[in-house]
Structure 1
Amino acid sequence: MKYLNEFRDPDAVAAVLKRIERRLTGHWQIMEVCGGQTHSIMKYGLDQLLPAGIELIHGPGCPVCVTPAEILDAAIDLAITHRVIVCSYGDMLRVPGSKRSLLDARAEGADIRLIYSPMEAVALAQENPQCEIVFLAVGFETTSAVNAQALRTAAGADVKNFSMLVSQVTVPAALEMISRQPDCAIDGFLAAGHVCTVMGTAEYEPLAKSLGKPIVITGFEPVDILLGVESAVDMLESGRAEVINKFQRVVAAPGNRVAQEGIFSVFERIDKSWRGLGVIPDSGLGIRREFEQYDAERKFGVTGVGDTLASDCQSGLVLQGLIKPHECDAFGVACTPETPLGAPMVSEEGACSAWFRYRHLERP
């Protein structure tokens, strides 16, 4: 397949690795932001192929992983106390809230339904006007565009029994927060290509300058990621902190202006809580006042219990890049995909899930 097979070519991988090795003189820690990148790195063993002077650090770019427990608690309360139908993507169902998951609540009789698109929730509301339908809207900028479209569709059709419980977050603010931590040792970032497909590259340029760290936008195939590492190493070795787009076959500098306009016609930037990271200023998207009738928190007056993690779960440290998943004492023992203590072990994009899938026998 064009634009896919050539980015998995072993000869191309070997060529980039040789160039990286020739350029490398120091020791650099580079964070790949996206969970999709993490899974590719683990699946293809890219971190093991790189020279010893490069360490790849897993970042917080898994939308399921950073959704706080308080949002799940609120969704469960809506389903049980307010008797609404809660619609969610499947990978959210098993994520632990402060006491239980959506799947646990469904087993107790709550009406929680798996869907594949927010438009399904809008259609469900239209088909069942006697029921209140709440869509659990989570994710980064990539999902916010389609969620905004669903809300505008509901508003345009005057669907009064539809609303959204929103936990939309944005990437740049999280990178800044992680970089400002006193114990941060990250030298550069590989930014998520699909987010930049929507938002473009402009918002990363002042961030790279203010942090003094290079940011490279990459895709998700082995050659994509290694080209990103190569550009990051080149900038680090030459003392530059710039933004380089190595995913140009998909990402344009302006991003998708139509999608951006759609997002900000419905959402506005707000402070937001992230699981394991706490509240990050201006890192989230909340429903604008003119659409407040579609905001489930305002509509039902529901709030979550609180963002708590299981006592043995160190996923907050994993999400900040301070430890690797297998360095958590619970990894592969108390915490497995069948009995997850934290969201990164549940999600298909979670770092703990990636380590368990590809290297669960490794211990530090």
Structure 2
Amino acid sequence: MKYLAEFQDPGLARRLLDDIHATATRPWALMEVCGGQTHSIIRHGIDQLLPEQVELIHGPGCPVCVTPLEMIDKALAVAALPEVTFCSFGDMLRVPGSGRDLFRVKSEGGDVRVVYSPLDALEIARRDPGRQVVFFGIGFETTAPANAMVVHQARRLGVRNFSLLVSHVRVPPAIEAIMRAPHCRVQAFLAAGHVCSVMGTDEYPELAARHKVPIVVTGFEPLDVLEGIRRTVHQLERGEHRVDNAYARAVRAEGNPAARRMLAEVFEVTDRAWRGIGTIPASGWRLAHAYRDFDAEHRFGVTGVTTEEPAACRSGEVLQGLIKPRECAAFGTTCTPRTPLGATMVSSEGACAAYYLYRRLDPAAPPSKEAAPVG
């Protein structure tokens, strides 16, 4: 892929790190709100290469991880219905609900299918009009436009046996909730480049000004992350709190106008529960009234579901940035990718999965500042 090697260049990484080391004079706590960035940070050892004054806090940036247990249980209930073909991306199938997961529903006879696009689910519905086909629509602003488009297409084509189980969330209200939390230590944010490529940066200046925090839009390759950290540390040291776009090759201030128009037509903003965090006002989307007939919750009447998180699982604290994964007693012992207690160990973007995959297993051993260079 073009530019891949350039954005993993060890020499450039060293120069960025030297600048960060030379600039940081006080303790600073930065939060990335993106699971892809978390995995890049842990995989390449970026957090171990930073000066001891700079701490990276992993935020609620994994879309699978923040999908609430209540919504997982609703998905399980719908998927188990004999008339339903339930379609989802693969990383949702092993997310534990209250007593089972979608793989278990499938093994018990449920028609559960992995698809690679919501359009695949729509095509299944078109080919088999006698079945109810449901697509599990989760995620941040990045996946929401495609799911909005598929519902728009279903209505345009008259595919009445297709519906969407919606659990979409929005990043800016989550940043607001994090900053208002009583034990918040976050002093700056690395904003997710792919979210901003869709939505632009309009909502961030007010957040930065109100909470006096720098917000730097950042990409996902090692040099992207290091440049985002470098710019953030410079702002913190100067006492600034601006929105800075360090991912200009993909992000424009206005975002993607066509995607935003589709979102505005198909969805409306609503309060949304986040797993491990609770309900955040105006932090999600639901189908607008004109598209309510395609709402799987409405169609199948899955309401009144009550849930309780496993007592041993501290994924909620991980998602809030209160602890690192290896500070949980269950991490790597009773909770592994094969036997997960929570979604943060299952998802390909979960912080617990990153720590397990890249062998950050020992809670007693502090990360070494002598780790090998990025690249």
TM range (shorter): over 0.9
DSSP-derived class of the 2:39 partner:
helix
Q: Distance in 2 between matches of 1:308 and 1:223?
A: 41
Q: What's the C-alpha RMSD, in Å, of the aligned pairs?
A: 1.1
Equivalent in the alignment of 2:225: 225
- Contact conserved, 1:69 with 1:98, CA < 8 A, in 2? yes
1:247 partner SS = coil
Correspondence list, 1:126-165, <5 A? 126-165=126-165
Give me the TM-score of the superposition, normalised by structure 1: 0.98
Partner Cα distance (2:304, 2:342) in 1:
17
> Contact 2:81/2:110 (CA < 8 Å) preserved in 1?
no
TM-aligned CA deviation for residue 306 of structure 1: 3.0
Alpha-carbon shift at residue 247 of structure 1 (Å): 0.3
Q: Do the aligned partners of 1:275 and 1:307 also contact (CA within 8 Å) in 2?
A: no
| Cα pair 2:355 2:361 within 8 Å, conserved | no
> Which residue does the alignment assign to 1:29?
29
Pairing 1:317–2:312 present: no
Counterpart code for 1:236? L
What are the residue-to-residue correspondences of 1:176-195 with 2, within 5 Å? Answer: 176-195=176-195
Distance 2:110 2:207 in 1: 43
Q: How far 1:276 moved relative to its partner?
A: 0.5
CA deviation vs aligned residue, 1:263-289 (integer Å, no higher than 9, x gap): 111001000011111110000000000
Normalised TM-score (structure 2):
0.95
Check whether the contact 1:126–1:159 (CA below 8 A) recurs between aligned residues. Answer: yes
1:57-84 deviation per Cα after TM superposition (whole angstroms, max 9, x unaligned): 1011100000111111111111224631
1:13 alignment partner in structure 2: 13
Counterparts of 1:1-364 in structure 2, within 5 Å, are 1-81=1-81, 83-303=83-303, 305-364=305-364
| Counterpart Cα distance in 2 of 1:215 and 1:359 | 30
Identity among equivalent positions (%) equals: 53
Which amino acid counterpart does residue 244 of structure 1 have in structure 2?
Answer: D
Aligned residues: 364
Measure the CA separation in 2 of the matches of 1:59 and 1:307: 23
- Aligned-partner Cα distance in 2 for 1:106–1:304: 24
Query: What's the secondary structure of 2:269's corresponding residue?
Result: strand
* One-letter amino acid of the structure 1 residue matched with residue 292 of structure 2: E
Q: Which runs of 5+ in 2 are unaligned?
A: 365-375
Deviation at 1:321, TM superposition (A): 0.2
Give the match's secondary structure for 1:31: strand
Q: How far does residue 301 in structure 1 lie from its aligned partner after superposition?
A: 1.2
Measured against aligned partners, the alpha-carbon deviations of 1:318-354 in whole angstroms (never above 9, x if no partner) come to 0000000000000000000000000010000000000
Runs (5+) with no aligned partner, structure 1: none
Distance in 1 separating the partners of 2:100 and 2:305 = 11
1:165 and 1:296 in contact (8 A); partners too: yes
* 8 Å Cα contact 1:122-1:154 kept in structure 2: yes
Shift of 1:105: 1.2
Q: Is the 8 A contact 2:287 2:295 kept in 1?
A: yes
> Partner of 2:358: helix, strand, or coil?
helix
Q: Check the 8 A contact 2:326/2:361 in 1, yes or no.
A: no
C-alpha contact (below 8 Å) 2:133/2:163 kept by paired residues: yes
Helix, strand or coil at the partner of 1:230: helix
Seen in structure 2, the aligned counterparts of structure 1 residues 36 and 257 have a Cα distance that, compared at 3 Å, is: same
